[in-house]
Structure 1
Amino acid sequence: MLQSGQVLSRFGQARVLVPMHSHREALLIVSLRGNATIGTGDQDWELPPRSMLWVAGHTPHRVHTTADHHSLILSFPPELVARATGWVDASGFVRDLVERVGKAPDSERRDRLTAVLLDELAEPVPVNARLQRVTELVTQHPATSAAELAREVGLSERTFRRWFRADVGTSFTRWHQQHIVERAIQQLHRGDSVKCVAADLGYTSASAFIAMFKRLTNASPQRYLSSR
């Protein structure tokens, strides 16, 4: 049986495609580089770099990664953390703990660090009203600019960007583009053309949209869809 906090995998070596399967252990998947998709039947979770996904024990899921994907995967007996499959909105402290667990030189140190990590993961994540409002606005109107969002939450654009990086752990531009890519993938799967998707998401040219999409997924929209 897998031990609490056992490191199942540290780095990806090549493009991976794992069909639907399940196992008793819960997994904490930390995306370090490249992109991965974890499909649970009801939902596909797109994992950009720096994102963290919790996969509850006994959850059927499939895995599809890009060739350059690197990740850290920790396994846990499911009874230790009663948490549903979903994103882990991690603080810098939790991210640091995950990295330390992955690099622990011996099992005793790993177990001590894992105990603290489990305690943090079991805590309910406080709702950040400002971030929740920003997420709602971007979900409804993907083309909303940072300046517009800053005004909506009562900040200057400069303060907004500084707050966003401190709270979310990445730049607003990167986070915003990831949301746009996720929305684009849904529309492309639906059969919308690249040109229509680009215009709908606020891009004045399809080439600018394709360049952004390729930068985040390492593939053009057409190649990304064909690989799926």
Structure 2
Amino acid sequence: MTTIKPFHSRDSASEHVTERRLPRYSAGQVRLPMQILGSAETMDRETYWAEHSHPTHELLWRDSGVGTVTIGARTWTITPPLGMWIPAGVPHSGWTPAGVVVNAAQFDVDEPPISDVPTAVRIYPLLRLLLARLQTLEPQTESYVLTEAMILDVMSPAEHEVLLHRPTAELLAPIIDAVLTDPSDPTTLQEWATRLGTSARTITRAFAAETGLSFNRWVTTARIQHAITLIGLGHEIQDAAVDVGYASASAFTTAFKRITGTTPAQFRAEPPIIVSD
């Protein structure tokens, strides 16, 4: 079993990890000279961004590989099909493994946001192409302005998102720690109830109150989020399935599609878009 610690428990002091600290801005505190400003950076080392906020709306996406964004007790996984929209002024932290190109676009606050809350965005091939093209153009030119308008027109929230809400209830702490440390942990709801000296119904209510999910759905989400990270880091799909507790490829595929809206094979096959000058 390959263990990948969740973002909040990573040791950012490791010699193999870079931690970045950025300022906290309120929405609109700094203005852009254009509607959208794009950037791309290849991360030579595993990198953490301590909690910060932008004066602009931000869209994060990947052409390949994975990353995470954490806001409060919620962690979203960024994948090639799924980007992340973060409204201006919202504090967030992030993680990206080494070798991944971090793509980002800052949107001026005068532009209507696609959502007033943090939201996953489906990165369709056309949107990916437009975002990449924007970085090849001279700002303020007719082509740049036209590309900005097209991006704003085609961008929309995703139907699915890979979001894990970590409950804070003391009762659930042993369960959360066990599953996040080892997503293949087979302990059932009833076994946890016995171990914790409570009832399965009490645990179910605690999960629903904080996450809106049942125990089983939360565990499945944690497993699939971990599996996506493994696949994004280059692990074989079957190995990732076993690592998160699925002996059957069909069971893993069913769970993966229920959480993400796509199959593991389709997720891995998502092609990058290469834009020429």
The answer, yes or no, to whether TM exceeds 0.5 is: yes
Q: Aligned equivalents of 2:79 and 2:47: distance in 1?
A: 15
- Asked if 1:196 is matched to 2:185, the reply is yes
Correspondence list, 1:55-74, <5 A: 55-74=86-105
Aligned length: 159
Identity percentage over the alignment? Answer: 15
Tell me the residue number matched to 1:216: 232
One-letter code aligned to 2:185: C
Aligned letter for 1:99? A
Say if 2:80 is the partner of 1:49. yes
Query: What is the distance in 1 between the residues matched to 2:137 and 2:175?
Result: 42
What's the CA shift for 1:69?
Answer: 1.7
Structure with the greater alpha carbon radius of gyration: 2
Contact 1:188 1:197 in 2 (8 A): no
2:53 aligns with one of 8, 14, 22: 22
The structure-2 alpha-carbon separation of the partners of 1:215 and 1:90, relative to structure 1 and needing over 3 Å to count, comes to closer
What is residue 271 of structure 2 aligned with on the other side?
none
Matched, 1:99 2:86: no
Deviation at 1:105, TM superposition (A): 4.5
CA deviation after TM superposition for structure 1 residue 39, in Å: 0.8
- Contact conserved, 2:67 with 2:78, CA < 8 A, in 1? yes
Cα displacement string for residues 158-203 of structure 1 (whole angstroms, at most 9, x for unaligned residues): xxxxxxxxxxxxxxxxxxxx96xx77x99985313454359999xx
User: Which has the larger helix fraction?
Assistant: 1
Post-superposition Cα deviations, 1:38-74, rounded to whole Å, max 9, x if no partner, equal 1111411111234211111111111111012212111
Per the alignment, residue 118 of structure 1 pairs with: 152
Contact 1:38–1:44 (CA under 8 A) maintained in structure 2: yes
In 2 relative to 1, CA 216–22 (structure 1 residues): closer, same or farther, beyond 3 Å?
Answer: same
- In structure 2, distance between residues paired with 1:24 and 1:115: 21
Aligned-residue RMSD, C-alpha: 3.8
Name the SS of the counterpart of 2:110 in structure 1.
helix
Cα offset for 1:101? 1.3
Deviation at 1:212, TM superposition (A): 8.1
Which 5+ residue runs of structure 1 have no aligned equivalent?
136-177, 202-209, 222-228
**8 Å contact 1:28–1:52 — kept in the other structure?**
yes
C-alpha displacement of 1:27: 0.8
TM-score (norm 1): 0.55
SS at match of 1:39: strand
Segments of 5+ residues of structure 2 without an aligned counterpart are 1-30, 168-173, 189-215, 218-225, 241-277
Quote the residue 2:273 is aligned against: none
Q: CA deviation at 1:31?
A: 1.1
